[in-house]
Amino acid sequence: MKNTLDIVPLKSWLDTGDKPLIIAGPCSAETEDQLVSTAHLLANTGKVNVLRAGIWKPRTRPGEFEGIGSIGLEWLKRAKAETGLLTATEVATAKHVEEALAAGVDILWIGARSTANPFTVQEIADALVGVDIPVLIKNPVNPDLSLWLGALERVNRAGIKKLGAIHRGFSSYEKSAFRNEPMWDLAIQLKSLCPELPIINDPSHICGNRELLPYISQKAMDMDLQGLIIESHIDPSVAWTDAKQQVTPAALSDLIDHLNLRKAESNNPAFEDKLAELRSSIDKLDDLIIQKIGERMKIAEKIGEYKRDNNVTILQVNRWDEIIQKRTQLAEALTLSNDFAVKFLELVHNESIRKQNAIMNAQPTAEA
């Protein structure tokens, strides 16, 4: 995958110094008082940069609260005027974009369900042509990096250069402690593909509960993500949407105080020397691992020739069972997880099979 994004750095449109960008506010704007009072409490913490509030809510089932609609934009305006906080809301149609822009919302975001639909993203992108506003794009509900990148590209091609991504986790069929599986590797892949793209973590929608928020927030900081978007409500127990995952502004402030902000780089030469030495040992081992896998493949190829000449099937299940059993025992003794050992062996084994398959099914070359 290639990075074709042409964006400006986060610092040029929202400078938070050496602190992470913090976006906080209720899942939904419910009443004028709920939104404005929450905004005041958040602003008073001195730790929040942007007030979030859903005005139009994408709900899984009809009949649930679908957002207060346009009137909420007036409340956002008042909250901004009284607190000085920047404001952000979700847009899912061209009409939402027009209304949010007319109401002076500072930052727009595209929700996970919209990101999953290129038609929707394109409609939003078209409505943004000629506008200079920051846009944050949540990952799609399904774990598909190209779909996420594709949405960022569509909006970028419409001329939006103040662009960011929001990592809110991915829905999964398997039961887990999280509402949406974080699948950190996808956020990391996006980060390595577009190093200049700010990625903001959304622990609220990953966790689905208050208890796990500090853990995911810290992990996001440890992954060097640029900020957090956290749902905060003046009284979460009576919230109309996502009640279980919202926190009071006081709890949010406490969560932020407990974050351990590590630096991506250090300016201690002794530390840098030690790190370079350890990294060089890792590089040597990685080289050796690749070399040894290469040697293993050569032997697998020889076995392939042998099997071909004796007309034996490629896969011999007993042999594979034996490999898995013995090697996972060794892995366990070395404190490697069983899951990792099995996945690693499967990858290596698949590559051996691919090579043997090529040998056994090669077209005979015509005799000269």
Q: What minimum distance in Å lies between the beta carbon of 14 and ligand PEP?
A: 18
Residue 201: which of 2, 24, 16 has the closest Cα? 24
What's the token pair of residue 16? 């938070």
Gap between the Cα atoms of 109 and 183, Å rounded: 21
Q: What minimum distance in Å lies between the beta carbon of 223 and Mn ion?
A: 22
Gap between the Cα atoms of 121 and 280, Å rounded: 44
By CB under 6 A, tell whether 67 contacts ligand PEP: no
Number of residues that bind ligand PEP (CB under 6 A): 8
Q: Which stretch binds Mn ion (CB under 5 A): 24-32, 96-104, 206-214, 263-271?
A: 24-32
End-to-end Cα spacing for the chain: 43
By CB under 5 A, tell whether 30 contacts Mn ion: no
State which residue, 48 or 341, has the beta carbon closest to Mn ion: 48
Q: Which position among 111, 134, 140, 249 is part of the footprint of ligand PEP (CB under 6 A)?
A: 111
Q: What minimum distance in Å lies between the beta carbon of 205 and Mn ion?
A: 6
- The dihedral through the CA atoms of 8, 13, 17, 18 has a sign that is negative
Q: What minimum distance in Å lies between the beta carbon of 241 and ligand PEP?
A: 7
Residue 25: which of 256, 286, 234, 179 has the closest Cα? 234
By CB under 6 A, tell whether 137 contacts ligand PEP: no
* SS3 of residue 25 by DSSP: strand
State which residue, 12 or 171, has the beta carbon closest to ligand PEP: 171
By CB under 5 A, tell whether 27 contacts Mn ion: yes
Beta-bridge partner residues of 163:
135
By CB under 5 A, tell whether 68 contacts Mn ion: no
Nearest 5°: CA angle at 278, between 273 and 280?
Answer: 95
State which residue, 57 or 162, has the beta carbon closest to Mn ion: 57
Contact (CB, 8 A) for 274 and 325: no
By CB under 6 A, tell whether 168 contacts ligand PEP: yes
Whole-Å CA distances, 191 to 195, 199, 225: 5, 7, 9
State which residue, 204 or 328, has the beta carbon closest to Mn ion: 204
Q: What minimum distance in Å lies between the beta carbon of 27 and Mn ion?
A: 3
State which residue, 58 or 104, has the beta carbon closest to ligand PEP: 58
State which residue, 108 or 300, has the beta carbon closest to ligand PEP: 108
Gap between the Cα atoms of 139 and 89, Å rounded: 16
By CB under 6 A, tell whether 24 contacts ligand PEP: no
* SS3 of residue 199 by DSSP: strand
**DSSP code string of 141-157:** SS--HHHHHHHHHHHHH
State which residue, 162 or 233, has the beta carbon closest to ligand PEP: 233
> What are the residues binding ligand PEP (CB under 6 A)?
27, 54, 58, 111-112, 138, 168, 205
Provide the binding-site residues for Mn ion, judged by CB under 5 A: 27, 242
